[in-house]
Amino acid sequence: MSAISRSASALDQAFLRVIQQIPPGRVMSYGAVARAAGLPRHARHVGVALKRLPDEQAVPWWRVVNGEGRISPRGLDGSDDLQRVLLEAEAVEFDGAGRIDLRRFAWLPD
DNA sequence: TCCTTGACGAGAT
DNA sequence: CATCTCGCCAAGG
């Protein structure tokens, strides 16, 4: 029983497995994760899966951004800022508008 | 069952 | 660029 299988639905686990493969310094959009998991049109659910992700990070959730190369705002908690800090710590660059150049940092499964 | 909610995305204006 | 509109689809009320 892996750490993520405890509180995630079978569908969520498909996304999480993909996310676990994203190498440091690279990112993937929600839609890309969904497609790589063989579940196109489920971009929104990738976000849902991460949201209900338990504290214990067995998954590099911070390497998932939206299709514009931006960190999706989720409101009050400062997890947005944390995400940016974690990414910059991996040398991922943000431009003046807070965007990541996906042509350079996006990753796709081999 | 019906209705509403989204860490989304593509396209039109 | 910034907005807005729609399509998408599982979950929860």
| Strand B contact nucleotides, protein CB < 7 Å | 6-10
Task: Specify the fold of A4-100.
Answer: Arc Repressor Mutant, subunit A (1.10.10)
pTM of the model: 0.92
Interval A25-71: pLDDT, tens: 999 999 999 999 999 999 999 999 999 887 666 899 999 999 999 99
Rounded Cα distance, A14 and A104, in Å: 25
Does the pLDDT of residue A98 top 60, yes or no?
A: yes
A42 touches strand C (CB under 7 A): yes
Q: What number of other Cβ atoms are within 10 A of residue A99's Cβ? A: 15
